[in-house]
């Protein structure tokens, strides 16, 4: 279990998190701190009121995202499925992309040959 120190509105809070989640938690703390500063600028006269305004701002963002998610789900559900007999035909790569693929394969083959030679030298 890891621990991260978050600074929000000038105060440091130690917060435990799963290993590997430290960066994400730091990002979240920074985001909350930003919202607290915005709430303070908006005219909050005390810390409790600023925290309440910041909470409302964050809740508003969550509600907006949920509404957009619901609209996206509805749009997906209302999109007609492709016809059963329809086929998607592969049109191939553009000449430029095809040349890039050929070049990459050549580079990989060269690296494999070098690695093979190196392994053979070491085993000899």
pLDDT at position 27 is 96
Residues 26, 4 contacting (CB under 8 angstroms): yes
Q: Determine the Cα–Cα distance for residues 103 and 108; give it in Å rounded to an integer.
A: 9
The pLDDT of residue 8 is above 70: yes
The pLDDT of residue 61 is above 90: yes
Query: pLDDT per residue over 84-117, tens digit each?
Result: 666 777 788 888 888 889 888 988 888 888 788 7
Residues 3, 15 contacting (CB under 8 angstroms): yes
pLDDT at position 59 is 94
The percentage of the chain sitting over the pLDDT mark of 90, rounded to a whole number, equals: 43
Q: Determine the Cα–Cα distance for residues 33 and 74; give it in Å rounded to an integer.
A: 34
Residues 24, 18 contacting (CB under 8 angstroms): no
User: For residue 16, which of 4, 34, 28 has the smallest C-alpha distance?
Assistant: 4
Q: What is the mean pLDDT of the chain?
A: 87
The pLDDT of residue 45 is above 80: no
């Amino acid at each position: 279990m890891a621990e991260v120190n978050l600074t929000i509105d000038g105060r440091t809070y130690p917060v435990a998190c799963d290993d590997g989640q430290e960066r994400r938690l730091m990002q979240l703390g920074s985001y909350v701190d930003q919202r607290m500063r915005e709430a303070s600028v908006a005219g909050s006269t005390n810390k409790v009121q600023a925290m309440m305004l910041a909470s409302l701002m964050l809740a508003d963002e969550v509600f907006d995202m949920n509404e957009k998610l619901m609209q996206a789900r509805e749009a997906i559900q209302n999109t007609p499925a492709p016809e059963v007999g329809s086929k998607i035909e592969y049109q191939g790569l553009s000449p430029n992309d095809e040349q890039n693929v050929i070049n990459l394969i050549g580079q990989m083959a060269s690296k494999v040959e070098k690695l093979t030679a190196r392994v053979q030298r070491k085993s000899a």
